[in-house]
Amino acid sequence: MTVSKTAAADQAKASRPTRKGHGDGATEGTALQLGELSELLGYSLKRAQLKVFEDFLRCVAPLQLTPAQFSVLLLLEKNPGRNQTEIAGTLGILRPNFVAMLDGLESRDLCTRVRSTNDRRSHILVLTDKGRAVLARAKKLVAAKHEARLNALLGPANRAALLAMLAKIAREF
């Protein structure tokens, strides 16, 4: 397998120096060789996801929102009256994790759970006025900073291509 100059640069950037006394003879400051890791899509996607999430968290730090919480608020805005099972399923969040996240969002008065009139075992999720205001601020921060940086890095054509490829993986894999 050949490694492009970009992949080689990414490999060097992703490596970490070894600590003195903790290696097996590796030279201090020498970059770790990633080998096959740099050719694995899953590894590269995860590394990119971590960087993107770090940047997202910095951008919305004043609002104290995680990417998952932001996603929930976006879905609630566009899909009023949907139940928590639908929202969690769409985002791929496990039920226990989603319930804990909702508890946090509710305690901040960003959304509320209301018993469904059709199915008393189910809860409808409603975005509160405060939730709408926080979401509006978050959308502005994300667009002006986070997405703007990604767009500048990738360019419009690569951004569109990457979105299409990621959607294909999510849909067909």
Task: List, run by run, the mean pLDDT of 10-residue segments along the chain (173 residues).
Answer: 46 48 66 93 96 97 97 96 93 94 97 87 92 98 97 97 96 93
Query: According to the model, what pLDDT value does residue 48 have?
Result: 97
Q: Are residues 34 and 54 in the same domain?
A: no
Query: According to the model, what pLDDT value does residue 24 have?
Result: 59
Q: Are residues 64 and 141 in the same domain?
A: yes
**What separation in angstroms does the CA of 119 have from each of 77, 82, 100?**
22, 12, 22
Q: Are residues 125 and 112 in the same domain?
A: yes
Structural domains counted in the chain: 2
Helices (H), the chain: 5-14, 41-59, 67-78, 84-91, 95-107, 129-141, 148-154, 156-172
Query: According to the model, what pLDDT value does residue 123 have?
Result: 86
With a threshold of 0.85, does the pTM exceed it?
no
Which domain range does residue 25 map to? Answer: 1-39
**Rounded-to-integer distance, Cα 56 and Cα 88, Å:** 21
Q: Are residues 70 and 138 in the same domain?
A: yes
Contact between residue 89 and residue 147 where contact means Cβ atoms under 8 Å apart: no
Q: Are residues 84 and 19 in the same domain?
A: no
Query: According to the model, what pLDDT value does residue 26 have?
Result: 61
CA atoms within 13 A on the CB side of 154: 16
Q: Are residues 104 and 131 in the same domain?
A: yes
